[in-house]
Structure 1
Amino acid sequence: MSGWHFRVRQTPALRVDLRGITPAALAELSADQVEQLSVGHGNEMLALAELFDVAPGEEGVLRFEGSLERFDRIGWQMDGGSIRVEGHVGHYAGGCMRGGELSIEGHAGLLAACEMAGGSIDVKGDVGDFAASTLPGSMDGMRGGTLIVHGNAGERFGDRMRRGTALVHGGAGAFLGSRMVAGTIGVGGSVGAHAGFGMRRGSIVFVEAGAALPEGVGSALTFVPNRAATPVFWALLARDLARHGGLFSDLPARRIERHLGDLSADGKGELITCL
């Protein structure tokens, strides 16, 4: 499997759709064939060579360099290999991803990791609204894999999340884990109102020491304290989260409090605050 290095020539006038540009799709192509691949630019199609300088790169790796804020769907439906982005990216980064690794040195736009089913995504900056959630009109959000955000997340992070692990080292906006079905969300900083709104199952872990339940949760009495001891469960979950470092690294040594809910839904989810 060959690799490629894409350097942005200049910021495009319109948004660019990079779906189909994955390591597997480009593995057996020549340089001329890669340069002639077409991608959407507004309502027309452009060859990759009109947007990027294309050069051979590290085996099995697609490396993007430059300002890619107007480039959407990087890693869309990716199922293997590695994509590395040295800069910011547009919307839908890693959407419907099934395998492989996506690394982003900057920020990602809206709907990053939406309906992700496998693989890993690492974002050094922030992600926009609806990360790790569902595409418009769909019923299931993130379905597997691992999303790590080293910055902050927007609103509705993990909306309708069904499986997998999504961690935010910084803070998150309102409606964190809303309508969550299963999976694990961890947040290192403060969060907005209504975390766990409509949550049916799954776990949301608030790492910030001494953090109270977010506004709109305890006051609405939709989550209730649970005093049952869960040492084995917490030991396993804490160890898994601790390997991602940062504020999560000392979780195995900390005590927790659990609140169960959302009682307005199925009532089997849990909000975990670390002491």
Structure 2
Amino acid sequence: MSGFTLKARAAAPLRLDLRGITPAALAALSAAEVERLEIGHGNALVPLAEFFAVEARSDDTMVLAGDLSRCDRIGWQMDGGTLIVDGAAGDYAGAGMRAGEIVVKGDAGALAACEMAGGTLRIAGSVGDFAASTLPGSMDGMRGGTLIVGGNAGARFGDRMRRGTALIFGDAGDFLASRMVAGTIALAGRAGAHAGYGMRRGSVVFAGQAPGASPTFVPAVAGAPVFWQLLARDLAQHGGPFATLASRGIDRQLGDVAAGGKGELILVR
């Protein structure tokens, strides 16, 4: 196997679709063969070399460098290897990802980690709306793996999330964990309005400021000390405001009872 550095020559006049450009797909190819691969440009297909300079690497890592804010579907359905985005990424970053690791050193657009099923996606900056949620027209959101957002998240983060772990080190927009089915979301900053709307199961941990009280969530009567210690220790490995969770107390709100839900909002004291 061999890796490649794909350096953007200039910002594309139309959005680029990079589905299929993954470490595993390029591993057995030469640099010349990679240059001839077709990518979407608007409603046309063009050779990758039209927008990227291709250089072979001595390791197995794939690196995308330059202005990639108009490059969508980076790491689409990726099933192994390491992909590093040295800058911002467009929409659908890591969507459908099944294995491997993606590191985005800047911001990512909307729909990041949609229907992600495995692996790790690390975004140093912020993400747009509907991260860790469903692809348009689908019923299931993030299905596994780990999403780490170093900045803020837009609205509907974790919408219909079914499995996996997602952490936000900044703030989140409105409708955090809306219609959540299962999984874990941890938030270090503030949440927007209607957190947990339509939530059925799963856990949302508020390590920072607690959200406003919702009339469709009720206080938990029973404690969950063993579960909390296990969850807190799992989140603590990511450091920052999550490192001290195991030593802090919690209050639990159950719901969304309007949706017959059995989820929980965990408010850390």
Which category describes the TM-score, using the shorter chain as reference length? over 0.9
Q: Distance in 2 between matches of 1:227 and 1:263?
A: 15
**1:131-142 equivalences in 2 (<5 Å):** 131-142=131-142
1:244 aligns with 2:238: yes
Gaps of 5+ in 2: none
Residues 214-252 of structure 1, C-alpha deviations (whole Å, 9 max, x = no match): 3xx52xx20000131211100000000010111101101
**1:120-139 equivalences in 2 (<5 Å):** 120-139=120-139
| C-alpha RMSD over aligned residues | 0.8
Give TM-score, length-normalised by structure 1.
0.96
Give TM-score, length-normalised by structure 2.
0.99
C-alpha contact (below 8 Å) 1:260/1:270 kept by paired residues: yes
Give 1:59's aligned amino acid: D
Q: Distance in 2 between matches of 1:88 and 1:60?
A: 22
C-alpha contact (below 8 Å) 1:75/1:97 kept by paired residues: yes
Residue 157 of structure 1 corresponds to 157
Residue 183 of structure 1 corresponds to 183
Residue 230 of structure 1 corresponds to 224
Q: Which moved more, 1:135-144 or 1:222-231?
A: 222-231
C-alpha contact (below 8 Å) 2:99/2:118 kept by paired residues: yes
Residue 65 of structure 1 corresponds to 65
Q: Distance in 2 between matches of 1:23 and 1:122?
A: 17
Residue 15 of structure 1 corresponds to 15
SS in 1 for 2:235: helix
Residue 97 of structure 2 corresponds to 97
Q: Distance in 2 between matches of 1:252 and 1:167?
A: 16
Gaps of 5+ in 1: none
Residue 146 of structure 2 corresponds to 146
Q: Distance in 2 between matches of 1:270 and 1:256?
A: 12
Residue 256 of structure 1 corresponds to 250
- Deviating runs (4+, > 6 A) in structure 1? none
C-alpha contact (below 8 Å) 1:94/1:112 kept by paired residues: yes
Q: CA deviation at 1:23?
A: 0.7
Q: Percent identity?
A: 63
C-alpha contact (below 8 Å) 2:191/2:211 kept by paired residues: no
Residue 213 of structure 1 corresponds to 211
SS in 2 for 1:264: helix
